[in-house]
Amino acid sequence: MSIQNKKSPPVVSKGQDIEIRVEGLAFGGNGFAKINNFMVFIERGLPGQLVQAYIYKKKSNYAEAYIKAVIEESPFYVPPQCPHFGLQGCGGCIWQNLNYTEQLKYKEAQVRECIQRIGGFRDFSVEPIIGSESIYFYRNKMEFSFGDRPWHLEKVENSENQPEMVLGLHVPGRFDRIMEITSCQLLSPLSNEILGFVRQFAESSGIKVWHNREHTGFWRHVVFREAKNSGQLMVNLVTSGESESLPVVKNLAQQLLTKFPQITTLVHNINRKISQVATGDEEIVLAGPGKIIEELGKFRFSISANSFFQTNTRQARILYDKVIEFADFQGHETVYDLYCGTGTIGIYLSPFVKRVIGFEIVPDAIRDARLNCELNQVQNCEFFEGDLKDLLIQNSQAKTALPAPDTLVIDPPRAGMHEKVVNEIIKLAPQKIVYVSCNPSTLARDLKLLCTTDYRLIKVQPIDLFPHTPHCEAVALLNHQ
């Protein structure tokens, strides 16, 4: 059945095939089209595409559809480089087939729209988005997972011939399904080669992969961390704690080190938990220092298997430079670096200020932050461990409280800040707040809370760290009136 946009009444129903032209990109990156003002979200739809789509969900005010066939291609279409890209493919970079300039336009508009709609702001500026210099092989970290149920081999699904092992990326929304990846375009060609070697080794080992439902098996993940500036490379093999299988990892490590001398460190994380996360309860360093060093400007940062580091190194430097530019330091400032991770932002800006005080919940990250200070002979930074919603209150009640900040740099996780943290910040009343965010919705929500008091939102800078995905980083500047 063919439904032309705006002509026919909104008679879409679940299970229906429709012909529809994608009008634009919705929040989250899917396409949308309207039929007599009734919103239809089209998975992986590109603006301008005419598609045959299947309605798989229908609600009172919107429907969701997936594309069965593209009838007419989008004017913004570009050929994707990744062999795993496709409508049913890996969900890692859904916009590889969308011209990068269009991606950037969407991201900038998304940041502006969130701050206006969720934050209710009108009088502020959004600087033109800064795109990523590299749009392929830009990541410095990738986590691949083992699985026992390949996604792409529909033919053999549920049959007895189903392969027993797959190594790749999770299919979006499916914790138990892995898509075989042989040539990911995000990290490096070398990591693809190593991944293939590990796959072959694991297959011939005769040892089973971790089974997500039965919670048995051994092979769980392969994680790469590749420092783009220093060239150092970590391979992290994550397995279950199945004791009889553990020695085989040493054998694999030896073979990897012989075949790939570019590997500077090799670690083995043992995850004894049921949850399929690529971090271990125990870490064994099999070769090298167990860390890699990455360079950002004149600073060197030590990155261990499980610590946070911005995944696009080159863009991280641009992001941190923007923080310094927005903060406009004069040299006398005490700066709080909230959600400081391994201290990267605080250390990077330390030459421009009097003192940096960082706060972070992960103990290993705090340890790394202190080590990073030593590594760079930085003496004006200190770091405190704990949950920010408690730390700031404890500090305000302490007899010898830390000096109040002149400037606050905030870089929370996607969920944004806890309301208690926002309230404490308001009490601290720094002159300037520079908020770094990877989620424009929670950024807008938190900015709104801060600006119900004496703060004013001045400007926002979107920066793209994640080409081919709908994600966007943003830096916002708030001044105390």
Q: Scan residues 49-88 and list those touching ligand SAM (CB under 6 A).
A: none
Q: Which of 308, 224, 326 is nearest to 265 (CA)?
A: 224
Q: Scan residues 91-120 and list those touching ligand SAM (CB under 6 A).
A: none
Q: Which amino acid is at 399?
A: K
Residue nearer to ligand SAM on the CB measure, 18 or 303: 303
Stretch that binds ligand SAM, among 35-43, 147-155, 289-297, 405-413 (CB under 6 A): 405-413
Residue nearer to ligand SAM on the CB measure, 108 or 360: 360
Residue nearer to ligand SAM on the CB measure, 365 or 447: 365
Quick note: the x/- pattern for ligand SAM over 134-153, rule CB under 6 A, is: --------------------
Distance in Å, CB of 361 to ligand SAM, minimum = 4
SS3 of 24-51: EECCCCCEEEEECCEEEEEECCCCCCEE
**How many angstroms separate the Cα of 263 from the Cα of each of 116, 186, 248, 253?**
47, 18, 19, 10
The count of residues interacting with ligand SAM (CB under 6 A) is 18
Stretch that binds ligand SAM, among 33-41, 45-53, 326-334, 410-418 (CB under 6 A): 410-418
Q: Which of 305, 279, 307, 312 is nearest to 291 (CA)?
A: 305
Distance in Å, CB of 418 to ligand SAM, minimum = 6
Q: Which of 242, 276, 280 is nearest to 147 (CA)?
A: 276
Q: Which two tokens stand for residue 370?
A: 């202190």
**How many angstroms separate the Cα of 40 from the Cα of each of 24, 94, 365, 451?**
11, 18, 43, 35
Distance in Å, CB of 464 to ligand SAM, minimum = 16
Distance in Å, CB of 415 to ligand SAM, minimum = 8
Distance in Å, CB of 141 to ligand SAM, minimum = 12
User: Which DSSP letter does residue 162 get?
Assistant: -
Local structure of 113: helix, strand or coil: helix
Distance in Å, CB of 359 to ligand SAM, minimum = 6
User: Which DSSP letter does residue 473 get?
Assistant: E
Residue nearer to ligand SAM on the CB measure, 257 or 361: 361
DSSP string, 45-98: --TT-EEEEEEEEE-SSEEEEEEEEEEE--TTB---S-TT-STTS-STTTTTTB
Residue nearer to ligand SAM on the CB measure, 146 or 466: 466
Q: Scan residues 303-342 and list those touching ligand SAM (CB under 6 A).
A: 308-310, 339-341
Could you say which of 114, 340, 373, 438 is catalytic? 438
Can residue 179 be called a binding residue for ligand SAM (CB under 6 A)? no
Q: Which residue is nearest to ligand SAM (CB)?
A: 341
Quick note: the x/- pattern for ligand SAM over 337-376, rule CB under 6 A, is: --xxx--xx-------------xxxx--x-----------
Please confirm, yes or no, whether 438 is among the known catalytic residues.
yes
**Residue 297 backbone phi and psi in degrees, to 5:** 60, -130
Q: Which amino acid is at 288?
A: G
Stretch that binds ligand SAM, among 84-92, 257-265, 408-416, 467-475 (CB under 6 A): 408-416
Helix, strand, coil percentages (3-state) for the chain, rounded to 5, are 25, 30, 45
Query: Whole-angstrom Cα distance, residue 55 to residue 17?
Result: 6
Distance in Å, CB of 280 to ligand SAM, minimum = 17
Distance in Å, CB of 395 to ligand SAM, minimum = 13
| Candidate residues 413, 423, 449, 480; the one interacting with ligand SAM per rule CB under 6 A | 413
Residue nearer to ligand SAM on the CB measure, 284 or 378: 378
Q: Torsion over CA of 150, 152, 156 and 157, rounded to 10 degrees?
A: 60
Residue nearer to ligand SAM on the CB measure, 180 or 411: 411
Residue 194 burial by Cβ neighbours in a 10 Å radius (0-12, 13-18, 19+): buried
Q: Which two tokens stand for residue 467?
A: 């080409």
Spatial neighbors of 348 by CB under 8 A, at least 6 apart, are: 296, 297, 299, 320, 323, 324
Can residue 210 be called a binding residue for ligand SAM (CB under 6 A)? no
Can residue 271 be called a binding residue for ligand SAM (CB under 6 A)? no
Can residue 411 be called a binding residue for ligand SAM (CB under 6 A)? yes
Distance in Å, CB of 21 to ligand SAM, minimum = 38
CA-derived radius of gyration, the chain: 24
Residue nearer to ligand SAM on the CB measure, 97 or 439: 439
Tokens 């990744």 belong to residue: 82
Can residue 387 be called a binding residue for ligand SAM (CB under 6 A)? yes
Give the footprint of ligand SAM on this chain (CB under 6 A).
Answer: 308-310, 339-341, 344-345, 359-362, 365, 387-388, 411-413
Q: Which residues are catalytic?
A: 438
